[in-house]
């Protein structure tokens, strides 16, 4: 996946910071142990000497190299075992002197076996998503400020109690955010404009981000425009592959499905995003102001079948809250 220079440097700096902190903390613990368990300092000194002897042995290449190498190796093993034993006897963990890296695979170097480590890739995606989100200009919403009072006394044409239905939706979405994992089910929030779909979905985003997941959220139309510019070379200043960022985010929230222009390119991108994330097993939340029938009239069967068979449908009901606020003089 391609990332622009700003994103790459930011991820590199974070990797360096992690390594610096891990090794700095290890040095601090080593100084502590030198004061509290001086025997370990003596053993560490002897181990350093055996390393020097091994280097000299390799350079001189005299005598029985294999025999001397095994001897020095065994001395090192015995010394390390003595250090671990002294640590545990004095109430410390056996690995107390080891650096505690964020990533054990690459030891916070960012590369493993000549390739970018998965921890580096995750950082790149996280910072790219954060940049996308900062440009999305979406409102800052949370569950605490979602008021159910606007649904009281309202019923649907079929007689459904809007307050009860939206109370159930709110509780269900709170639980979704609290229990979110990469295996969470995708959600499809349906209902007419202004009844809380964006607020609820962004509230989920806020809680999921708090738990350390990468969440990309924004208007589907805005994302499609960005991807179109990148695809057709009208955004030459950017090296970022927005489509791949959206496909690989831990959680993707697409607002206002159905508001975009009808083009074959946009439809293929929508299908690509939905299908790719299903194949990767990653959850997605999609909002739409259109009814199920209206969606079926717009999109091809490949998109519709995935939306209605894989996603959990959550119908939103009520009256346009913005209109209610204007009537109440709240604007």
Numbers of helices and strands, H then E, in the chain: 12, 7
Quick one: tokens of 36? Answer: 């509290």
Ranges of the chain with pLDDT below 70: 1-2, 50-69, 136-138, 234-239, 331
* Model pLDDT for residues 60-89, shown as the tens digit of each residue: 655 566 666 677 777 788 888 999 999 999
Rounded Cα distance between 263 and 277, Å, is: 22
Burial of 137 (0-12, 13-18, 19+ CB in 10 A): exposed
Rounded Cα distance between 294 and 192, Å, is: 12
- Give the residue carrying structure tokens 């083009």: 263
Rounded Cα distance between 168 and 181, Å, is: 21
Rounded Cα distance between 47 and 39, Å, is: 13
Angle at 254 between CA 216 and CA 125, to 5 degrees: 20
Q: Look at residue 58 in the predicted model and tell me its pLDDT.
A: 60
Please, are residues 289 and 318 in contact by the beta-carbon 8 Å criterion? no
Q: Which residues contact 91 (CB under 8 A, 6 or more apart)?
A: none
Q: Look at residue 3 in the predicted model and tell me its pLDDT.
A: 77
The full set of domain ranges for the chain reads 5-118, 137-327
For the chain, the straight-line distance linking the first and the last C-alpha, in angstroms and rounded, comes to 44
Q: Look at residue 308 in the predicted model and tell me its pLDDT.
A: 94
Q: What pTM value is reported for the model?
A: 0.79
Quick one: tokens of 109? Answer: 């170097």
Q: Which CATH architecture has domain 137-327?
A: 3-Layer(aba) Sandwich (3.40)
Angle at 293 between CA 288 and CA 297, to 5 degrees: 95
Distance between alpha carbon 255 and the CA centroid of its chain, in Å?
A: 19
Q: Look at residue 139 in the predicted model and tell me its pLDDT.
A: 73
Give backbone dihedrals phi and psi of 253, rounded to 5 degrees, phi first. -120, 115
Q: Look at residue 304 in the predicted model and tell me its pLDDT.
A: 95
Q: Look at residue 328 in the predicted model and tell me its pLDDT.
A: 75
Q: Look at residue 50 in the predicted model and tell me its pLDDT.
A: 67
- CA dihedral of residues 32, 34, 39, 42 (deg, nearest 10): 150
């Amino acid at each position: 996946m391609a990332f622009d220079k700003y994103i790459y440097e930011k991820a590199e700096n974070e990797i360096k910071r992690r390594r610096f902190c891990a090794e700095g903390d290890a040095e601090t613990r080593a100084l502590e142990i030198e004061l509290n368990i001086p025997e370990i300092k003596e053993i560490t000194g002897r181990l350093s000497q055996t390393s020097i002897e091994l280097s000299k042995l390799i350079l001189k290449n005299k005598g029985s190299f294999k025999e001397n190498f095994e001897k020095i190796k065994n001395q090192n093993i015995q010394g390390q075992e003595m250090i671990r034993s002294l640590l545990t006897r004095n109430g410390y963990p056996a690995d107390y002197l080891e650096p505690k890296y964020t990533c054990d695979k690459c030891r916070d170097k960012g590369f493993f076996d000549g390739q970018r480590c998965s921890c580096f890739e995750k950082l790149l995606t996280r910072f790219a998503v954060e940049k996308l989100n900062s440009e999305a200009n979406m409102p800052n919403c949370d569950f605490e400020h979602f008021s159910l009072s606007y649904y009281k006394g309202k019923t649907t044409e079929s007689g459904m109690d809007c307050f009860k239905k939206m109370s159930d939706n709110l509780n269900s979405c709170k639980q979704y955010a609290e229990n979110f994992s990469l295996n969470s089910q995708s959600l499809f929030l349906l209902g007419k404009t202004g009844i809380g779909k964006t607020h609820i979905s962004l509230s989920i985003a806020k809680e999921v981000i708090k738990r350390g997941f990468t969440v990309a959220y924004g208007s589907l139309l805005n994302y499609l425009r960005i991807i179109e510019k990148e695809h057709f070379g009208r955004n030459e200043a950017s090296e970022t592959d927005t489509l791949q960022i959206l496909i690989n985010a831990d959680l993707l929230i697409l607002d206002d499905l159905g508001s975009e222009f009808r083009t074959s390119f946009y439809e293929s991108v929508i299908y690509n995003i939905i299908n790719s994330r299903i194949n990767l097993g990653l959850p997605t939340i999609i909002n739409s102001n259109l009814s199920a029938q209206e969606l079926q009239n717009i999109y091809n069967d490949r998109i519709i079948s995935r939306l209605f068979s894989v996603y959990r449908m959550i119908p939103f009901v009520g009256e346009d809250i913005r209109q209610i606020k204007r009537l109440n003089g709240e604007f």
